[in-house]
Amino acid sequence: MTEPERPSEQPSVPLSALLADPALGLRQIAGPAEDRRVSTVGTTEIENPAPYLVGGELFLTAGVRLPRDADGIDTYVRQVAAVGVSALGFGVAPVYEEVPPDLVAACDRHGLPLLRIPPATPFVAVGQATYTAIAEVRTRELREISRAQSALATAAARPDALRAVLDRLAAHAGAWAVLYDAHGNELFSAGPRPASPTPERLRDLAVRTRGAARSAAADHRTGTHLTVHTLPGPDGTTTTLTLGQATTVAPTPVHRQITSTATVLLALLTSPRHALGTDTRGAGALVRLMLGATPAEVAPALDADHWTVVHGHHARSVSPGEDPAQLATLGTALGTPYLYVDGPDLKALIPGTPDARPEAPAQVAELGWTLGFSTPVPASNLPQADRQAERALRRALAAQLPAAVHTEDPLTVHALVPPSDARDLARTRFAPLDEAGTPGSAILLNTLHTWLTLHGSWDRTAAALQVHRNTVRHRLARVGEALGVDLQDPGVRMELWFALQWLETERGAGPGRAAGPDRQRERPRGSG
């Protein structure tokens, strides 16, 4: 059954606590054995007390106006039970020497607990004991609420605030807690996940509640209690997020109070101001940077020795202003408030330690992001880490992976250029040889590669290719003319050597073919 979430009940005490008090001497002699809650005590001696009762009270009577016949007593009990009183307390003496049997039978018939109050126990003593017990229960509840609120506040200050708040809520409420986005997708969850179909029912309740623009709803069935709360917005409306909980016991007033606190904290954590990380320390660091300080100088103010740079790409453009919850969720998943989103592109800084190992949380992929991570570096090396993150992102996109982490490259020129860019550069650099004519680009590339390998020796190149040295000269002249370069320039030779290596990586069998005897038929001396 789906219903709006009920407001918090009045403080109450279990009926069993009053029955266990030896000073009162109360004894239940009729009605169900269930342990009902008592929130107040009422006493009246009129013929029909029902209009003066509100429900939840321990109703005391000495039977002054109790009907004398069985039918009248049955009507009396039926009216009192219909109001919802917790129990009926009947005082023995001075009107009755013992509880009337017809009253016992009527209470059994209508499911109303009937307590026998001995002659030595004044009704005032029952009231005092009840209110004292209620006060003690309320004190314990307030202490529990205070401890829970303190734990929630501490969790909200952590880098993974959203997940931490849900963890504390689940622990204190004994629930499975989950945060849904506008489409009913799970952003975070905490606590033991219940078996199907409870998660599906909770999601459906969250979607229907948000669609109906309601702030809360409940669905209580045998053995399962579901509640959802839409997070409040700063203008009094609701946000796009919904908090859902599933428990095996009915929510208590303490549970509802703790949930209310968690709901407010989650709303604050997903607000645009918090999602964009406008904290005073971060703002102070920004001011110093804009006034000329270096990243290394302001980094200590942000309590981080090392930083991991993250580059990200999304399939669609993301607007933090329109969907701050996405940014808050992303920041919580990555463990950092230092995020910058520009359309489909993301850049982030994750504070950490030198031995931290960057990892991509599952929520990031679920949100549609592909990420590249650098290795942790001190603030002075952030430009290097920025390049690492960019290359890692390109690798993740090319391999269709949710994320890639930069690995330490050897200290070579090849490590500075992404492989795909290097291959594109090599193809472009040697493209003019395709128009050079006979003997063809493959043979010209092979001759160039052999000549560079043999340090520009004409004779050794001719011997390796088994052609005349003038053939080598002629071919290399064709290469220089087609590419518009001077092969006697060491810088040009170095550039072409790297390009040949990148082309070799692409083709896998060397530039044109592996260096070796040139199988083209030898032409007369001086021919190409």
Question: Amino acid identity, residue 499?
Answer: A
Task: Give pLDDT, residue 524.
Answer: 35
- Distance between CA atoms of residues 520 and 469, nearest Å: 14
- Distance between CA atoms of residues 399 and 416, nearest Å: 19
Upstream peptide bond of 197 is cis (omega within 30 degrees of 0): yes
The four Cα atoms 174, 176, 181, 185 give a dihedral, to 10 degrees, of 180
Between 108 and 303, where is the model more confident? 108
DSSP secondary structure letters along 231-285: EEPTTSSEEEEEEEEEESSPPPHHHHHHHHHHHHHHHHHTSHHHHTT--HHHHHH
Question: Amino acid identity, residue 225?
Answer: H
Between 264 and 527, where is the model more confident? 264
3-state secondary structure of 381: helix
Task: Give pLDDT, residue 71.
Answer: 96
Is the pLDDT at 107 greater than 90? The verdict is: yes
* Cβ neighbours of residue 124 closer than 8 Å, sequence gap 6 or more: none
- Distance between CA atoms of residues 348 and 386, nearest Å: 10
Is the pLDDT at 329 greater than 90? The verdict is: no
- Distance between CA atoms of residues 471 and 523, nearest Å: 8
Tell me: the pLDDT tens digits for 473-507?
999 998 888 888 888 888 888 888 888 877 765 54
Tell me: the pLDDT tens digits for 117-150?
999 999 999 999 999 999 998 888 889 988 988 8
Task: Give pLDDT, residue 233.
Answer: 66
Asked if residues 180 and 200 have their Cβ atoms less than 8 Å apart, the reply is no
DSSP secondary structure letters along 136-149: HHHHHHHHHHHHHH
Kindly tell me the sign of the dihedral angle through the C-alpha atoms of 431, 437, 441, 446. negative
Q: Which pair of structure tokens corresponds to residue 267?
A: 């709303």
Question: Amino acid identity, residue 210?
Answer: R
- Distance between CA atoms of residues 116 and 92, nearest Å: 7
Task: Give pLDDT, residue 513.
Answer: 42
Is the pLDDT at 170 greater than 80? The verdict is: yes
Sheet harboring 27-30: ordered strands across?
Answer: 27-30, 114-117, 87-91, 57-61, 40-43
Length of the chain: 528
Tell me: the pLDDT tens digits for 3-14?
444 444 678 899
Q: Cα separations (Å) of 107 from 37, 82, 287? A: 17, 12, 75
Highest mean pLDDT: which of 110-114, 254-258, 270-274, 293-297? Answer: 110-114
- Distance between CA atoms of residues 180 and 208, nearest Å: 12
- Distance between CA atoms of residues 299 and 289, nearest Å: 10
3-state secondary structure of 54: coil
Q: Which residue has the tokens 């605030």?
A: 161
Question: Amino acid identity, residue 46?
Answer: I
- Distance between CA atoms of residues 506 and 422, nearest Å: 9
* Cβ neighbours of residue 214 closer than 8 Å, sequence gap 6 or more: 4, 230
Upstream peptide bond of 324 is cis (omega within 30 degrees of 0): no
- Distance between CA atoms of residues 407 and 66, nearest Å: 88
- Distance between CA atoms of residues 385 and 397, nearest Å: 18
Whole-prediction pTM: 0.50
Between 253 and 31, where is the model more confident? 31
Tell me: the pLDDT tens digits for 21-53?
999 999 999 999 989 999 999 999 999 999 999
Task: Give pLDDT, residue 39.
Answer: 92
Task: Give pLDDT, residue 417.
Answer: 62
68 by Cβ neighbours in 10 Å (0-12 / 13-18 / 19+) ranks as exposed
Task: Give pLDDT, residue 1.
Answer: 44
